[in-house]
Amino acid sequence: MSTSRLRAGTVAVLAAASLVLAACGADSDDSAGSGDGKTLKLWHYEGANSAMGIAWAEAIKQFEASHPGVKVQFEEKGFEQIRQNAGMILNSDEAPDIMEYNKGNATAGLLSKQGLLTDLTEEAGKRGWDKIGPSLQTTSKYDAEGIMGDGKWYGVPNYAEYVMVYYNKDLFAKHKVQVPTTLAEFEAAMDTFVKAGVAPLSVGGAEYPAQQILYELALAKANRAFVDSFQLYKGKVDFKGPEFTYAANTFADWVKKGYIPKDSAGIKADPMGVSFTQGKFPMVISGSWWYGRFVAEAKFEWGTFLFPGNTLHPGSGGNIWVVPKNAKNKSLAYDFIDITMKPEIQNLLGNSGGVPVLADPAAITDAKSKELIDNFNKVTSTDGLAFYPDWPAPGYYDVLVAGAQHLINGTKSPEAVLDEIAKPYNDNLTSLGK
């Protein structure tokens, strides 16, 4: 496999002038699907007040304005709903024309391997989607085995994302805590909160957030070779090596010390974020997809910093637009993707708390949005995107959720959890002949 994962160095905000948009309009040839060209059935799972939700709502308006007689039939879905049922739905006549979907080997890669997604390679070249930065293209392309980074285009991201630490400035000031710059300072800060009777971290152990903390801790001891081995199968991963051993032991230690609440195993992502916006916790470790929502809902001063001491961080191009193989109005879907890449939509996304991929830098005027994008550029300028821990194998998301829950509940030792997460990973490699 070639190394199109690519050295980052790619900034999120690029000039949009080079993007050539194809002419709008439906057609009815085979490559466009078998529909009547009058309805675009669209699914995504972004909240209405998130950056993507705001930008895509405007994109729907612009699409309908530029396609007289065509109606967008939008249905908001849940992330878990699509994650668990995508394969079954896309293999039926109920498939939408376009859908937001999770990227990576275990999700978009698996569906592409199963023949459930449309090959977008020709459209990407014709419409200029391939003008996005090379590091962001990694999750757009999948080979015949469904492994990301090379092969055909099966998805298009129109935003980027990364994991960071959100913090409540008011609580930091109240408890005289400084923004930490090292992992030792980070733990000292959490100690201060615990001694004051305040749980430092809002954590969602029932969904993705806890496993991303586990991965951040592994990345604290990792280098690029480890990431390439874990995510791209370029080397053997030792789950009893320093990276995962440190992660599991430290995660369990953080539970014992009260940094991670012992009742967080059953908490899902949404209530985790809500608890932060209600001022109940000083910090939450999660992704840039929360940014716009926190802007809208948090009633206190807050800021962000990268996970202290790490040079590698969970992150990538954002979730991708995919066009199901059974989509009936594919040409309309391509037109909609085009509109989400237009400068005005990209700029709106950037000024609403998202990380755009083709915005005009001069058009990003919101101070908080600039901070968000600047931090992303710090990560990419040092080749710091490490993707997400659940990507390497189908079903791995649930494996990691269970592993993190065992660490939170203390029902399994760190060593036992590492055995538990190693087996399905290695079984997947065996199935791929790796």
Does residue 226 have a pLDDT over 80?
yes
pLDDT tens digits for range 182-203: 999 999 999 999 999 999 999 9
170 shares a domain with 267 = yes
Q: What average pLDDT does this structure show over 9-21? A: 35
Q: Are 100 and 157 spatial neighbours (Cβ–Cβ below 8 Å)? A: no
412 shares a domain with 281 = yes
C-alpha 390: how far from chain center = 11
Does residue 95 have a pLDDT over 90?
yes
Amino acid letter, residue 206: A
pLDDT tens digits for range 28-44: 334 556 778 899 999 99
Structure tokens belonging to residue 278: 């209600």
330 shares a domain with 189 = no
Indicate the burial class of 190 (C-beta count within 10 angstroms; 0-12, 13-18, 19 or more).
buried
Q: Is residue 12 one of the residues assigned to a domain?
A: no
Lowest-pLDDT range of 25-29, 46-50, 238-242, 420-424: 25-29
201 shares a domain with 310 = yes
Does residue 79 have a pLDDT over 50?
yes
pLDDT reported for residue 111: 94
Q: What average pLDDT does this structure show over 287-296? A: 89
Structure tokens belonging to residue 47: 């909240």
pLDDT reported for residue 31: 55
Domain span holding position 104: 39-158+318-359
176 shares a domain with 65 = no
pLDDT tens digits for range 121-171: 999 999 999 988 777 888 999 999 999 988 999 999 999 999 999 999 999
Rounded Cα–Cα distance for residues 150 and 192 (Å)? 47
323 shares a domain with 309 = no
148 shares a domain with 56 = yes
Domain count, the chain: 2
Indicate the burial class of 134 (C-beta count within 10 angstroms; 0-12, 13-18, 19 or more).
middle
The band of 360, judged by pLDDT with boundaries at 50, 70 and 90, is confident
**CATH code, 189:** 3.40.190.10
203 shares a domain with 111 = no
Mean pLDDT of the chain: 89
Q: Is residue 26 one of the residues assigned to a domain?
A: no
C-alpha 98: how far from chain center = 18
What H or E segment, with its residue span, contains residue 418? Answer: helix 414-431
Does residue 5 have a pLDDT over 70?
no
Does residue 11 have a pLDDT over 70?
no
